[in-house]
Structure 1
Amino acid sequence: MFEALEAGDPRQVGRYRIVARLGAGGMGRVYLGRTPGGRAVAVKVVRPELAEDAEFRRRFAREVAAARRVNGAFTAGVVDADPEGSPAWLATVYVPGLSLGEAVAAHGPWPLEPVLALAAGLAEGLEVIHAAGVVHRDLKPSNVLLAADGPRVIDFGISLADEASVLTRTGVMPGTPGFMSPEQLTARPVGPACDVFALGAVLTFTATGAGPFGTGSAHAVNFRTVYEAPDLTALPAALRAVVARCLTKDPDERPGPAELLDQLAESAGGDRAVPVVLTEADWMPEAVARTVQLRTATPSQPARPTPERTSDPQPQSAAPPTNDPVPPAQTVAEQDRTDAQPRTTSPATAAQPRTTSSETTPVIGVTEPVPRAYAHSPRRVPEPTTAAAAGPTGLSRRRALLGLAGTVTAGGLGVAGWYFVKDGARKPRWTSVNGGSNYARPLVSGAVVYVSGREAILYALDAVTGRQRWKFSTVEDADAPSSLAMSSGLVYACGGKRLYAVDMATGEQRWNFPTSGDVYAPTAADGLVYFGSDAYLYAVDAFDGKQRWKFRTDATAFRAAPTVVDGVVYVGETNEGMLCALDAGTGERRWKSHVGIVSWVPPVVADGVVYCTTSGERLFALDAADGKLKWGFATGVGGAAAVSGGVVYVCGGKMLHALDAASGSQRWVFPVGSSLSPPAVADGVVYIATASDDKYLYAVDAASGEQRWRFPTHDAASTPAVANGLVYVSTFGRLYAVPV
């Protein structure tokens, strides 16, 4: 994943020209650099406040000297460094490809044989690292890169020579919750055994999709790491004993990497080595191997031919003005900042920002500096050849976009080729600043769109022009973001500690229902309105607001959104970790299923199956009649689903996944650089809005996973609503109507 350089980023570090951001950590930022000959390297630049500390520089120099001695098949070694530079920095071999964390998020847990092959590669990597007198201290899924010939352990930025102590003087706490050893967390002496502990946690994550000490706050995970036994029940039996030894609390009882390799061989049924040859990508699960192959296309198999460059299209004419102001036109520089948002690129594509040098860029088929903009296309799991050849559709927003595909060789990065792609764009039909809250999805009924706002809890706008028809506000909590529902000529809006019923035509209040706590997530169905407040799920009459029943949950502030289908309310009980089915008329529980802590987003029910996501970063498909599990899928952080045409579209881990509704098998995956809103599906297109740094509304082909177009929202956005040939999406302060 590449990010555009920003104003404060260096353009030259040592002999390396800096061309993009790769990421950041506690001790500095990592950049993509180029040698004078064009070879790619990863350059880590130390944070200025650390580099100014003389003691830190001394330790950093010792660390670099030790790391230079690490040069094994399963590591990305240090190639250059200047601990005394301004800034201090080190450069390592650049490894393009997929991280282990990304692979598990996109494709789910791995079967036993690939996990054993991974374990063997990582154990050998640790053997080399420890032999050089280095302790990595932060081995985790994002620090493991996957290549055709085996995994690579990366990021020695906080590795320490084994005689060094923790860098407490600089305020740095090396390690990541869930993968840190007990001795790291309790400030005891740290040695190579802490990396073996982290390896056990990494293998558990790879095989199950979750860490051995659960999820939650860093404090909770760290407490369980120090004082509780790991949960290894989901591990295959052949792996459980190996991992259990790695996760022993006492570092002296953990195996060394060499011993671990022997035990892995026994688990795999071999003599001295795991019987998998790490020279081809088939050592990984098939779907992961395909994605890795796409991202690291070889020079003999270019990812895509280079089409002729085209000039920028003329700007589209603006929509007729309305009485609502629209965002001012952007300058080219502002467009650069907007369009060059970080995102995960396609497997065969990497992004390259514009250089600041006046010299031309020596790459195949290109004789001008690289534009500061990004290519984007989905990762198609079933048919990688097709995915590599296909590109995004639609008109170019400003300039042609460049991508790089390469492969790691003994000498570093081999350039496979450069090519131009297009980036589809849209302009809004209209924009309204009267309404808009990123907490609530707009509701559309006929020619009116209803949306919550900042100055009033409810607005009614003309769906075609965006002109305000009416607004509804209250004295109490008038500016509180509101969730909405509608039924039988009424809109139901949450305003602080009351649920309001408002006439859809006139904006007049019909009734309100007071509670002692904040009201959340109303759902209207069959003459009742269901919503959470305090520790209860309420059901009130949709016409007069009288309470029918309330169901006591285990939460102190119940926020979960219910879904009502065929007389049954499906809702998650957050603390106890279950999904419940309640009788819609009486509130009596029909069944409960202990799938884990269910997220606040509403479950989805289709064809007798209920789909829910959990805080354990998984999507579960349950029988709607009895709650029995049908299948599960590891989504990654987030999780919100929509079902259409036998396909489940679920967001999580900065990915949009398309899954077969019957089996849970993945059809395709569409990656972006930030978390996502719940998806909306209409007329063969999936619409998603990114909710953090990416700030776009995407239209994705439901069948193929190809991007059709995107629209910059400039802020976190709601779940889209599709009607009248428009996609309505609200941010915190604006409502956009974008042509489909």
Structure 2
Amino acid sequence: MGAFETLEPEDPRQVGRYRIVARLGSGGMGQVYLARSPGRRLLAVKVVRPELARDDEFRRRFAREVAAAKRVNGAFTAVVVDADPDGSPAWLATVYVPGVPLNEAVAAHGPWAARSVLALGAGLAEALEAIHAAGVVHRDLKPSNVLLAADGPRVIDFGISAAADASVLTRTGSVIGTPGFMSPEQLVGQPIGPASDVFALGSVLAYVATGVGPFGRGAPHALHYRAVHEQPDLAPLPPEVRDIVAACLAKQPHRRPALAALLDWLTTMDGSNEAPTLRLSEPGWMPDSIARLVREHTSAPLLHTPPPALPGTPPETPRPVPGTPASVRPSAASQPPAEPPGPTVAPEPKAHPAPAPAGEQHEPVPRPSVGETHSAEQRTDPATPSPGHPSGRRPRLSRRLVLLGLSGTALTAATVLIAWETRDSGTPSTDPAPEPGGKSSPDGAPGTRRWSFATGSGVDSSPSVAEGIVYVGSNDGKLYAVDAGTGRQRWAFPTDDHVGSSPTVANGVVYVGSQDTKVYAVDAITGRQRWAFPTTASVYSSPVVADGIVYVGSGVKLYAIEADTGKQRWASSLDGLAASTPMVVGGIVYAGTSFQLCAVDADTGKQRWAFPTSGGASSSAAVAGGVVYVAGWEGKLYAVEADTGKQRWTFSTSGRVYSSPTVADGVVYVGGMDHKLYAVGADTGKPRWTLSAGSEVSSSPTVADGVVYVGSTGGKLYAVKADTGELRWAFSAGAALISSPVVAHGVVYVGSRDKKLYAVYA
């Protein structure tokens, strides 16, 4: 359960005619407050962020959305009661619902029985009917946007959705949607309509019935790929619910049921044949444990209204009341089952202080062979040095890029905030096929496999190489240490969920984040845990280590953690999801979020500046020559001055970008979902060359010895001449490559969705 947060000195005490009482939450669009009207009615007031409010086009869109949202008047919606799109600041007020968020209820008490799932589904379907009748498409229906009250659910946050007839205005806005609940048409950039909300409704019902979304758990890009290309896992669903969910999750919008038909279906299966308003107003529609939770919550004392402040007297701040959630949740906060990455540039810096002594051992660990080399191998281009040390996800910043939570290479790796994979349908392949059993290629010719190592699930994590060992995470929940020469396992360290973060190695310790909401420090030789740091959300960002501090993003926070002890130095709240891999250069941490690029002081966690990108910073940042390079969701590559946050130039691709940029020898390399790899002048933003990859490039490129290495969702690993864009060779893996390659001692290491880690001769 969340609690009211006391007001900060910078928070307003009055918005419009409403007195602000407490903080309820924050999101990409702004801060949400609990407020009282002059008649003492409780409201949830969302105040728009200043940088968005300064955008004229955003204001026009916001005004149009507010006008549409005011037309919504359903029994199961949190009604918009007032707004001022032209105000300073702009704001929106809805009825405050003292309910329990659905995601928190399921997380605390587990899945629901079929009858309760059907009753909930009927209420949500009626809510969507009211929303659609007003010409609004929600676009972000998810468990955290559903509040449970005694008399039924309430759908919230539709006030930030675009009106159905104004979708053209969304092109410059923030990306709306949550991994695991977004429809295929949302993910591939096609027009969306009411059927998209039906898809999300099916995902919500599957989540409530099983405790996990229909496309499982994983990094955002993995969830997106499954939603677009794979069938959902509906086997765990109760039979009464399974067919309904399956119909809602049809890939083609026209094959999904209309809401009226769906409502009839839900009430018939429920056996009540009553209108949802009647059915949900009776006791027993929720599980007993949830009903008790709701009663406890609604009976909790509410905050009193602070009296008007006298001149020169600071306003009174409210006392926190445990268990009181917001009636309007920030749409940017990712909820189960997933949350979502970034780029990097220069070579890996030297390792920093070693962590504390080893703790418990998790699996048998073979010792390294005698005489093995112990010199850390960098995955960056020696010509592009960079001040900070790269790392992966969670509470640390790393230069290594993580694709949607996967880190790339120190020199080139890039991470993507949201990415999905699609098969290469038309590129002919003359590459040598992977050999059974992972045997080495006899001649060691470039582009041939040296060995492959099988894990228990897809490998979206980008590998790290140090002292003759390759470290990589897998969706089976384990961090693996693999001998770089033979491909044999040294040890495997288990976490409690998918490891989408890429590992970072420093001073004999491997740092990695997991979707179990922890960042781990693991002894690089033994595989024993040194410490585990708990965060508030899944960790897709790859940790970065600099000056003995681990920097990593999780949820809407950027963490600084002592590398040797695992103790928190600071946690900085950011606007938007901090899923990209941070970059540390010159005492500044650069982190992309789902809404902007931020520069944060590495010592204090204080924000220096923020640069808004189109649709959010979908990648990790790369820093070189006093310039920060970052990709935006809507297909733009930005160059921003590192000290001021001012834009130098932008380069537009012909599609969305999930790949993180890599900088080497005055050129920025970045992949696109338009099937292309781009080389762009770092000073001018002018294109140097473009390579057609035949399928989406969501892997982040790596540059070594004048060659660019990058993977595609068609399962190809490409080696391209950095100066001309000429293809040197292409290696075919068994499935999509989202992992960013790393190069060490003439071998390229990359993970694949076919559950394998590959070693390929460079």
What is the TM-score with the length of structure 1 in the denominator?
0.48
Higher RCO (C-alpha under 8 Å, 6+ residues apart): 2
Return the index of the structure with the highest Cα Rg.
1
Give the strand-richer structure, 1 or 2: 1
